[in-house]
């Protein structure tokens, strides 16, 4: 299925960036890419071709997309945003101490 393929490829690209890149900001981007891949997959997998789960006044709706995965994803996005902000804050602090955001040049991080 195409959705699964896109999810796995995006997830692996994110994981590769998280593991292999030495630039810390790129690592954060990789982590966010992983999260975004999961969220994309959740939304698109739960799409069964129905309408968005919002009633319209005066109309009877029969086929909805499942609203629960969307609500879960919203929670996940907020958590992802908080962690990304915290990580970037820590990188700003680290840059102040060591003058670089390269993982290999910061002593004690390259393993």
Partner 1 sequence: MSWMNIELILLIVLPAGLAVIMYFSSAFNQRARNSLAVVGAGVELYLVFSLFIFNFEAVKNSDFFLQSTMGYSDSPFVINFAMDNLSLLFSLIVTAVVFLIVIFSTQYIRDKENRYFALFFLVLASIQGSILTADLFTLYLFIEAITIFTTPLISFNKTEKTTRAAMQYLFYGITGGVFFFISIILIYFNLGTLKMAAVAENFGLISTPMQLTIIIFFLLAVLIKLGIFPIHFWLPRAHSACPAPISALLSGVLLKVYLYIFMRLFWTMIAFDFLVELHLSAFVLDLALVSSLIGHVFALQADELKKMLAYSSIGHIGMILAVLMLNTEAAFYGGLLHIIAHMLMKSGLFLSSGYLLRTTLSHHIDDLKGIGHKNRLVFISFIIICLGTIGMPPLIGFVSKWFVLLAFLEARHYFGAFVVGAGSIIALIYYLRYISQAYETVKTESKTLREELISLKAFFKSTNIMKNVIYLFTLLIIFFGLSYKIFEMPINTAIFELLNPQKYIELVLGG
Partner 2 sequence: MEIPTETQPEVESLNKLMKKTLISVVLAGVAFALYQNFSLMPGYEGLNVGLSNYIIESGLKDTGSLNLITAVLYDYRAFDSLGESTVIFGAVSGIVLILSRKMLPVSSKGLSFIVKRTLGIMTPFIALFGLYVITHGHLTPGGGFQGGVILAAISIIFSIVYGSAFDYRRYSPQTKTALETGGALTFLGLGLAGIFMEGAFLHNLGFLTAETGTLISAGSIPYINIGVGFKVGAGLAIIFYSMIQKTFEEDF
How far is 9 from 111, CA to CA, in rounded Å?
25
Query: 35 contacts which partner out of partner 1, partner 2, none, CB within 5 to 8 A by kind?
Result: partner 1
Q: Does 1 bind partner 1 (CB under 8 A)?
A: no
How far is 64 from 73, CA to CA, in rounded Å?
17
Q: Looking at beta carbons only, is 79 or 107 nearer to partner 2?
A: 79
Residues forming the site for partner 2 (CB under 8 A): 1, 4-5, 8-9, 11-12, 15-16, 19-20, 45-46, 48, 50, 52-57, 63-68, 70-71, 74-75, 78-79, 82-83, 85-86, 88-90, 92-93, 96
**Contact between 39 and 51 (Cβ < 8 Å):** no
Closest listed residue to residue 14, CA positions, set 31, 1, 36: 31
Mask for 50-89, x = binds partner 1 (CB under 8 A): ------------------xx--x--xx--x--xx--xx--
CA distances to 76, 77, 89, 94 from 99, rounded to whole Å, are 33, 31, 15, 8
Could you tell me the smallest distance in angstroms from the CB atom of residue 48 to partner 1?
Answer: 12
């Amino acid at each position: 299925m195409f959705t699964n393929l896109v999810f796995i490829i995006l997830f692996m690209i994110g994981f590769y960036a998280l593991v292999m890149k030495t630039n810390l900001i790129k690592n954060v981007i990789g982590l966010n890419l992983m999260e975004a891949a999961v969220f994309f997959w959740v939304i698109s997998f739960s799409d069964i071709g129905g309408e968005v789960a919002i009633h319209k006044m005066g109309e009877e709706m029969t086929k909805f997309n499942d609203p629960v995965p969307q609500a879960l994803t919203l929670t996940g996005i907020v958590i992802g945003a908080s962690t990304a902000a915290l990580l970037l804050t820590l990188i700003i602090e680290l840059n102040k101490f060591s003058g670089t955001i390269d993982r290999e040049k910061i002593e004690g991080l390259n393993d």
